[in-house]
């Protein structure tokens, strides 16, 4: 029961983190938020590693092998730098309710890429799971009644939001496969928290590099240092609940539960977001949104069930 409670707490933390990040994105802009919240999360994870693992600062950099840096670094760039940029923009445009639903596409994209890159097995059950998830996402996206409720809360259903929601999920699925490639396919294993540290290191490094070469460094930094529209508290709270507490609790949950069980509980994120979204943004919970979220989550459950069968 302890593991289940921690897994549920993980999902709640990730769900809560969406809202301050959405607010911070509205105040700072998505690029500025993504750049500095990744840096902040990396600092916090570095401190946690030094506290809970018997390593020093030099070993943080020297212990990982080159292939760890290669695949986990790519995972961080694609999953965090690019994927989260797309996802945060989607949250800002579509709202947390629909934006969070697009995250359910990530496991399906990971399955497809794992089949193509890692030679993992693909079967009919996996295809069914992907189709069910996509059906739920499409249903809520096209629902006219839910669109009205969303617009009344200040959000919009436009092509950019939808495209960015899908792109974010695809990048997160790709990042997951690259993480697996970096952690599971070699003899020398790396602690999960250390792997997260590498992902964040490359993620914030790539975000800063992109802002420099595009001439956006000053434009991205000024809103942060000026605390534009009082956005810093939102960025700090989002980072606390998302990359810090969410990641930490997820590691504890996986230690006490089978991975498939933990993933099943993590997949409840869109369901948990619904009531929070109602109280925070006063966005009406429609019948369509309930059923669409349930269908999309069911598709994820099917994918997880498929993994348990293959194991």
pLDDT digits 0-9 by tens, 229-258: 999 999 999 999 988 888 888 878 877 776
Which two tokens mark 273?
Answer: 């977001």
pLDDT of residue 180: 79
By C-alpha distance, which of 42, 173, 167 is closest to 115?
A: 173
* Phi, psi (degrees; rounded to nearest 5) at 186: -135, 160
CA atoms of 274 and 289, how far apart (whole Å): 8
pLDDT one-digit tens code per residue, 51-108: 888 888 888 888 888 889 999 999 999 999 999 999 999 999 999 999 999 988 988 8
pLDDT of residue 308: 66
Higher pLDDT pick, 148 / 260? 148
Residue whose entry in the numeric block shows the structure tokens 């809360």 = 153
Q: What pLDDT, on the 0 to 100 scale, is given for residue 277?
A: 93
Residue (of 56, 45, 299) closest to 193 by Cα position: 45
Instruction: Using the predicted structure, report yes or no on whether residue 36 has a pLDDT greater than 90.
Output: yes
Which residues form the domain of 178? 2-310
Q: Give CA 100 to chain center in angstroms.
A: 9
Give pTM, 2 decimals.
Answer: 0.89
Q: In the chain, how many domains are there?
A: 1
The residue-averaged pLDDT of 207-221 equals: 95
Closest to 267 (Cα-Cα) out of 117, 106, 121, 127: 106
How far apart are the C-alpha atoms of 73 and 175, rounded to whole Å?
Answer: 9
């Amino acid at each position: 029961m302890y593991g289940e409670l921690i897994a549920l707490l993980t999902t709640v933390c990730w769900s809560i983190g969406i809202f301050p990040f959405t607010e911070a994105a509205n105040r700072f802009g998505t690029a500025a938020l993504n750049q500095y919240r990744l840096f902040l999360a990396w600092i916090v994870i570095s401190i946690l590693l030094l506290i809970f693992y018997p390593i020093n600062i030099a070993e943080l950099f020297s212990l990982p092998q080159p292939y760890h840096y290669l695949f986990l670094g790519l995972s961080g760039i694609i999953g965090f730098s690019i994927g989260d940029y797309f996802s945060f923009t989607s949250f800002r445009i579509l709202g947390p309710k629909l934006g969070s639903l697009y995250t359910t596409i990530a496991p399906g994209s990971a399955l497809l890429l794992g089949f193509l890159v890692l030679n993992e097995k693909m079967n009919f059950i996996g295809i069914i799971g992907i189709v069910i998830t996509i059906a739920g996402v499409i249903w809520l996206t096209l629902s006219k009644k839910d669109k009205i409720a969303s617009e009344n809360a200040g959000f919009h259903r436009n092509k950019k939001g939808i495209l960015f929601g899908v792109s974010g999920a695809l990048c997160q699925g790709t990042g997951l496969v690259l993480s697996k490639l970096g952690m599971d396919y070699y003899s020398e294993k790396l602690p999960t928290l250390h792997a997260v540290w590498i992902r964040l290191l490359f993620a914030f490094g790539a975000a800063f590099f992109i802002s420099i070469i595009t001439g956006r460094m000053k434009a991205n930094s000024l809103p942060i240092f000026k605390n534009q529209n009082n956005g810093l508290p939102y960025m700090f709270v989002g980072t606390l609940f998302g990359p810090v507490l969410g990641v930490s609790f997820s590691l504890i949950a996986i230690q006490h539960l089978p991975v498939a069980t933990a993933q099943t509980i993590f997949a409840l994120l869109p369901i948990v977001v619904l009531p929070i979204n109602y109280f925070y943004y006063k966005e009406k919970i429609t019948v369509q949104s309930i059923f669409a979220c349930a269908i999309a989550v069911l598709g994820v459950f099917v994918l997880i069930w498929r993994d348990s069968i293959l194991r």
